[in-house]
Every structure is written in structure tokens, then in C-alpha cells.
């Protein structure tokens, strides 16, 4: 049995947080939500999540700083940036910092599910490759 994927939603808009939580909660996914970057890093410090859905514009710490910190401290976590202010430059920066995906709001339930599934498959594949590499180097 595959263990539940854990997802952290980070967005300052309550309606967005609730929508993503409702979309992803279920038998295969455990979802938590916070409203800013500081809270996201605090929660990640207690329990790193498999996937983080991350807004870029929030009060306090911006999403790019949160993304950079997550990828430095918890590189195995996959981050999906979802922003209401998409731009080529921010997309390039997000990907260069290690984001798995970059989506422009509004994002429908199917897009959220597909992005999360893709991120989880990528994470599992990367972990499997790491394990095989470690076995091969022994």
C-alpha cells in the first residue's frame, strides 16, 4: 500500500486555501493549509510535506523566498507555484529555484489534481533513482 501523500497549501486567500484543500483531501492525500510563508516554514520544520502548493504574493515573506528556503532545507519536497500574477521572469526564477511546476490562477480542480499527481510521481521517481544510485555505489 502506498502511503498518503502530504500536501501543504500556502495562500493568503481563504477561498483559495479551502478550494485546494477540498479538491485534494481524500483517501490518497492528507492536506494542511497556512496563510503565509512564515507559517509554511514553521509547519515544514515540524513535518516536511511531500508537495507544497505555493502562492507568490503574500503578506510578509514572499513566495520566492519560501520556495528557496524549502528547496534548501527539504529538497525532497516538490513545490508547485500557483500565482495570480504570472510572468515569464517569475516562472523562470521559480523553476531555477527548484519549483516542480508553475501555474497561473485561476486554477481549476482538475489542474490542481494533475499538478499534485505529477509532483508526487516525480518525487517517488527521484527517490527511487536515489535509492538505486546508493545501492550501485556500495
Fold of the 5-136 domain: Rossmann fold (3.40.50)
Question: Quick one: pLDDT at residue 104?
Answer: 97
Grid coordinates given for 120: 508526487
Please tell me whether the overall predicted TM-score, pTM, comes out greater than 0.85 for this model. Answer: yes
Predicted pLDDT of residue 1:
32
pLDDT at 91: 97
What is the pLDDT at residue 130? 62
Scanning the chain, the segments in alpha helix (DSSP H) are 14-24, 37-46, 63-73, 88-96, 109-136
User: Which pLDDT score is estimated for 132?
Assistant: 63
- Long-range (24+ apart) CB contacts under 8 A made by 45-50 are 45/73, 47/6, 48/74, 48/76, 48/77, 49/6, 49/7, 49/8, 49/77, 50/5, 50/6, 50/7, 50/77, 50/78, 50/119, 50/120, 50/123
Q: What is the pLDDT of residue 138?
A: 56
pLDDT-flagged residues of the chain (< 50): 1
pLDDT at res. 51: 97
Q: Where are the domains of the chain?
A: 5-136
Amino acid at each position: 500500500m502506498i502511503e498518503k501523500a502530504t500536501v501543504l497549501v500556502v495562500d493568503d486567500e481563504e477561498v483559495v486555501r479551502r478550494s485546494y484543500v477540498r479538491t485534494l483531501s481524500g483517501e490518497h492525500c492528507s492536506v494542511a493549509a497556512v496563510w503565509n510563508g512564515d507559517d509554511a516554514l514553521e509547519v515544514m520544520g515540524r513535518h516536511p510535506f511531500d508537495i507544497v502548493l505555493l502562492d507568490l504574493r503574500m503578506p510578509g515573506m514572499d513566495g520566492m523566498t519560501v520556495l528557496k528556503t524549502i528547496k534548501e532545507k527539504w529538497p525532497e519536497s516538490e513545490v508547485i507555484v500557483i500565482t495570480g500574477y504570472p510572468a515569464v521572469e517569475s516562472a523562470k526564477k521559480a523553476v531555477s529555484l527548484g519549483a516542480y511546476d508553475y501555474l497561473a490562477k485561476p486554477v481549476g480542480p482538475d489542474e490542481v489534481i494533475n499538478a499534485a499527481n505529477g509532483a508526487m510521481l516525480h518525487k517517488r521517481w527521484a527517490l527511487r533513482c536515489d535509492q538505486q544510485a546508493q545501492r550501485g555505489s556500495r
